[in-house]
Amino acid sequence: MAGTRVSCGLDYCNVYELSNCLQDASRAGYDFISVPLAHPRFTREHVEGKAKLRDGAFTRSDLLLSSSEWNSLIVGRVTTAAVLNLECGVSSLRLNSEETLAQELTFAAHLGLPALTIPLTTDRCVNLARIIHNKVVQGVCYQVWVRVPMQAPEESASHYRSDKKVSEDGFEIDTWTWWNKFHSIANIQKKIGLMIEVSADLPDQSVLDRWLGEPIRCAVMPTSIWLTNKKGFPVLSRSHQLFVRSLNKLHAQFIISGPLRHQHYKFYQQYLEHITRMEIDPLTDFARGYEDYLQCPLQPLMDNLESQTYEVFEKDPIKYQEYERAMFLAISDRVPEEERETKEIVLMVVGAGRGPLVRRALAAAKRAQAKLKVYAVEKNPNAVVTLQAQQDEDWGPKVTVVSCDMREWDAPEKADILVSELLGSFGDNELSPECLDGAQKFLKEDGISIPYSYTSYLSPLQSPKLYNEIRNCREKDKHFLAHFETPYVVYLHNKKELAAPQPLFTFKHPNTDGVIDNKRYKALQFQITEDNVIHGLAGYFEAKLYKDVMLSIKPDTHSRGMFSWFPILFPLREPVPVRTVAPDAHMTPDVRAFLNERQNSTYMTLDVHTTPDREQDSLSGNLTDSRNTTWIDADSQLCSTHF
């Protein structure tokens, strides 16, 4: 299945006839054009100077195009003069830049442009961010794309110079910090996005991943970074191709800028269209439209799931295939070759739902040529109707349907194999340990539990988009911070993991401890090697079904094609910036989980703070020491966050 068509625009440094440029770009296959709102060399003096009293309009008329063309085909570009002196210490120059910028922002709103690009050339951007924030808060029709170079001019020049990569004027040369500072001051408004200008020499993959974790709306592809193949057509290097594909997965748009260096501008657009066509795996196809979409975790123990929910999970091509393989191996091990005609295996499916595991168990027994007796235990009375219908029509006496909570059922006999699919996105967040601990009483001493072990994993996450989505959630009957105190199941897309996931809590079944206690505590330490901002913690799990049969949603061991579980997100109320001025600076989230047996709920506390090296901390004030604490009730989703 091919991906969606790439959206590509053409950048004009200056426009003589706007309608002609629009027609030329359209004939070349471009979807829109980017043009300056005013002539780049048109000087405006609003405070003092000879040009203050000059008559005439500062730019072209809106009558040149229809409203629909302005609204969909034109991306405005703020001129450099409008932002050049915004941080200047000379009051008259600063005020003149502010008036010029306000004039262009107002005219862009008058035209109804879909987007407006603003250049960011330094980390000194407090005044610019303040003005843009105030304008967006007032309500504007356009999106603001902040154009940031992937590499600072000093860094690009260092490839050709022998001196150090240090800016002599004291400016920060890491352009991500420019954007991060601007975005933080602008209050991370949803209408403000990143317009990344791709460099000829791409930085390390970790730096690219950090950019890909930002809300990229558009990528500028200068003609100077393109190569020429043997036939004279423009192409990109292999590394640039991979980066473009990553941008396309984020639904970013592209703009071709710079002078023409090949036969025609249309060949740039055609090449981008060519390299962004790709095959989509089942998980990506299933998750289309759900990227970074926040969902509250299911609570099947508290709520009865709907038929549609069961149907979605039953379509998973991998999960039940692996369950059947695990049950086949378990049945084969329990029944010797010489006893296959006489010995009957008792298999119990606890939490049977509409019966997918029952069907797979019968298929596994048929493959193993073994006799099987199945108990299907389900507490949802609506799903029991479906189980009983299948028992009458297909299964017959081989299956006994039990309408009861597994923890309260008094089984007539012990089971050889106990099968369940009670796992949540964090492994234990749907009370699987508590349910299976209560159900293991009717498992034989040498019985097999499928799964027999599962481990939760945690990793720090950077995602301004997800943080902004959560911050904009509002409900009348809830505190405005309640949404930061709720875990979310989400298909993580526009993000960067700041460190590899580390194992957190492991649960094994059957639980042979003398005193069963599911309270857990563990402190994790993550090494972060770059300046970043932590917006939350991503949770995953790995489950071992039987022997080497495993299910996983952890990125490096993910069961390919499985979509029954998305990762879980634990958001932080306040982002935690991490400055790695010391080579051994690190971030340490302390994670505690404990069971409240009286209310039959699982509570988890997340303590997150950065702890830099003490010696370095005494030498530098740049390292951050912040704290977030979150209590999570996995059953009722009640939690609270404190610093």
Feature table: binding site for S-adenosyl-L-methionine? 310, 319-320, 378, 405-406
- Catalytic residue chosen out of the listed positions 430, 469, 485, 542: 430
Read off φ and ψ for residue 124, nearest 5 degrees: -90, 85
Taken in order 47, 51, 52, 57, the sign of the CA dihedral is negative
- Return the biggest CA–CA distance within the chain: 105
Burial grade of 212 (CB within 10 A; 0-12, 13-18, 19 or more): buried
Q: Which residues line the annotated binding site?
A: 310, 319-320, 378, 405-406
Contact status, residue 430 vs residue 417, Cβ threshold 8 Å: no
Q: Is 597 a residue of the active site?
A: no
Exposed (0-12), middle (13-18) or buried (19+): which is 184, by Cβ within 10 Å?
middle
Please check whether residue 34 is in contact with residue 18, taking contact to mean a CB–CB distance below 8 angstroms: no
What DSSP string describes 435-490?
A: HHHHHGGGEEEEEEEES-EEEEEEEEEE-HHHHHHHHT---TTS-TTGGGGS-EE-
Distance CA(270)–CA(536), nearest Å, equals 39
Residues with Cβ within 8 Å of residue 194, at least 6 apart in sequence: 145, 146, 148, 179, 183, 211, 214, 215, 216, 217
- Catalytically annotated residue among 155, 322, 421, 485: 421
What CA–CA distance (Å, rounded) separates 614 from 626?
15
Q: Which of 301, 320, 300 is nearest to 309 (CA)?
A: 300
- The owner of tokens 């003005």 is 131
For 399, phi then psi, to 5°, come to -125, 135
Amino acid letter at 131?
Answer: I
Give yes or no: 291 in active site.
no
Backbone angles phi, psi at 114, to 5 degrees: -75, -30
**Nearest Cα to 497, choosing from 455, 530, 454, 543?**
530
| Overall size of the chain counted in residues | 643
Catalytic positions, please? 421, 430
